[in-house]
A = this chain, B = another copy of it.
């Protein structure tokens, strides 16, 4: 039995990963799906990246987690990198799933293109509480492109406004991911076009891990909704020794 902690992406909570988690549990493993600070009901949308990371460190310490396979989806890659830099002794392997891989001093927005950053800031400026919401057409075409319209709408309704500051904050690391002394895997869904097309998740971000294991499967950025069985198996293949 292996122990998995799945860290969701922006606009999500741990609840959206439950269908994936329950499939991994059915294979005999222990799986937890905590929600990052800033995405929990009632959290201030002014939450920054350090607080977000701290909330998962606290979760691991409170639950006494050891030997954890820590999986981060998308924005969750920022969080698991920060967590690993602080409590590496609790972690057996890091699994990035179409996730951002930051080096010391980089923000999530630093890994996108200038015109995307501007578009994100314009969206955030439309709201007054520090959060950003993804327009439905972007979600439908570029995030959940392998689902039908009904599923796209149902999944969209489950999202929560995301704290924009977590995208702007530059991460502070004592060790960059390539130098972290732990096993690392990258799961790449091959139809994921949520990253800039000419700057894809793999290999642009994956190669920042140094030596890593690649697992690829067909699917969009939101495969947790469209094919939970496929991503559950990929997490197993990426997480095993």
Closest-CB distance, A234 to chain B (whole angstroms)? 11
Contact of A211 among B142, B183, B241 (CB under 8 A): B142
A216's closest neighbor in chain B, by CB? B191
Residues of B within 8 A of A145 (CB): 213-215
B207–A142 contact, CB under 8 A? no
Indicate whether A166 reaches chain B with its CB closer than 8 angstroms: no
In the complex the two chains form, is B213's CB within 8 Å of A141's CB? yes
Stretch of A14-22, A44-52, A126-134, A198-206 lying at the B interface? A198-206
The main secondary structure of chain A at its interface with chain B is mixed
Provide the bound-state CA to CA distance between A183 and B152, in Å.
15
A141-165 residues with Cβ-Cβ distance < 8 A to B are 141-142, 145-146, 148-149
A175 at the interface (CB under 8 A from B): no
Q: Are B202 and A142 in contact (CB under 8 A)?
A: no
Whether a CB of chain B sits under 8 angstroms from the CB of A193 is yes
Question: For A240, what are the chain B residues with a Cβ–Cβ distance below 8 Å?
Answer: 148-149
A212: CB under 8 A from chain B? Answer: yes
Q: List 28 A-B contacts (CB under 8 A).
A: A140-B213, A141-B183, A141-B184, A141-B185, A141-B211, A141-B212, A141-B213, A142-B212, A142-B213, A145-B213, A145-B214, A145-B215, A146-B215, A146-B237, A148-B240, A190-B190, A190-B216, A191-B214, A191-B215, A191-B216, A193-B212, A197-B202, A197-B203, A197-B207, A198-B203, A198-B204, A200-B203, A216-B218
Top 4 nearest A-B pairs (CB, nearest first) are A197-B203, A141-B213, A197-B207, A145-B213
Other A-B pairs beyond A141-B185, A142-B211, A198-B203, 17, CB < 8 Å? A140-B213, A141-B183, A141-B184, A141-B211, A141-B213, A142-B212, A145-B213, A145-B215, A146-B237, A190-B190, A191-B215, A191-B216, A193-B212, A193-B214, A197-B202, A197-B207, A198-B207
